[in-house]
Structure 1
Amino acid sequence: MEAKSSQDEYNQVKQDLQQLRDDLAKLTKVVSEDQKGNISSLRDEIRRESREVFNQAKQKGTETLNRAKDAGDKAVQDVEHKIEERPFLSIIIMFLVGVLVGKLLDREK
């Protein structure tokens, strides 16, 4: 009877070990799938935040470009207005600037 009892215990231990292996395999699979889900979620979050940062940078760049364009347009209008107010003085100033640039270019040769 003792031999049968030892054999039963051996079979029970064998079954317990197999059950433990199966449980460990299931646990490993669940942890692996969970990690894949976490990585996928993290990747999606990074993409979403990257798009948001890109859109903010694009918006700020557009706003800055518009401000620079407006400032340039205002400067051109101011110059046009000054020329309209004093056309003769503007022509003389442009002539003198041309002479000065010519002299500077002659020195370099």
Structure 2
Amino acid sequence: MEAKSTSKDDYDQVKKDLQQLREDMATLTKTVSESQKGNISSLRDEIRRESRQVLDQAVNKGSEALNQARSVGDKAVHDVEHKVEERPFLSILLMFLAGVLVGKLLDR
């Protein structure tokens, strides 16, 4: 009889061990899942932060380029105005010739 009770005790112990193993696996899975959610959340926040920084840098560089282009354009307009004021007859003659040239190109 003693052999039966020993094997029954061993069987019960194996069942308990398997149940404990299941519980441990469930706890481990839950812990890993929560950890990964935390990692994903922190990665998402980091990506958002870096995206904002890149967008801000792009906006700043775009604004700088626009300001520089405006400055160069204003200078060019001022230079042309100055040249027209210095030599109005020559400017009128050049505009007339440019108009004739454009007219001939459009006739074709």
Normalising by structure 1, what TM-score? 0.89
User: What CA distance in whole angstroms lies between the structure 2 residues aligned with 1:63 and 1:105?
Assistant: 39
* Aligned counterpart, 2:35: 34
User: What CA distance in whole angstroms lies between the structure 2 residues aligned with 1:19 and 1:105?
Assistant: 91
Deviation by residue 1:45-89 (Cα, 9 ceiling, x = unmatched): 111111111111111111111111110000000000001111111
* Aligned counterpart, 2:68: 67
User: What CA distance in whole angstroms lies between the structure 1 residues aligned with 2:95 and 2:19?
Assistant: 97
Deviation by residue 1:6-29 (Cα, 9 ceiling, x = unmatched): 322222221111111100110011
Alignment of 1:12-23 (within 5 A): 12-23=13-24
Query: Does 2:108 match 1:104?
Result: no
Alignment of 1:38-49 (within 5 A): 38-49=39-50
User: What CA distance in whole angstroms lies between the structure 1 residues aligned with 2:57 and 2:89?
Assistant: 48
The 10-residue stretch of structure 1 (2-11 or 31-40) with the greater mean CA deviation from structure 2 = 2-11
* Aligned counterpart, 1:93: 94
How far apart are 1:37 and its partner, in Å? 1.2
User: What CA distance in whole angstroms lies between the structure 1 residues aligned with 2:100 and 2:15?
Assistant: 105
Question: Which structure 1 segments of 5+ residues have no match?
Answer: none
What's the RMSD between the two structures over aligned residues? 1.3
User: What CA distance in whole angstroms lies between the structure 1 residues aligned with 2:84 and 2:98?
Assistant: 15
State the aligned residue count.
Answer: 107
The 10-residue stretch of structure 1 (13-22 or 1-10) with the greater mean CA deviation from structure 2 = 1-10
Identical pairs, percent: 71
Q: Which runs of 4+ in 1 moved over 3 A?
A: none
How far apart are 1:5 and its partner, in Å? 2.8
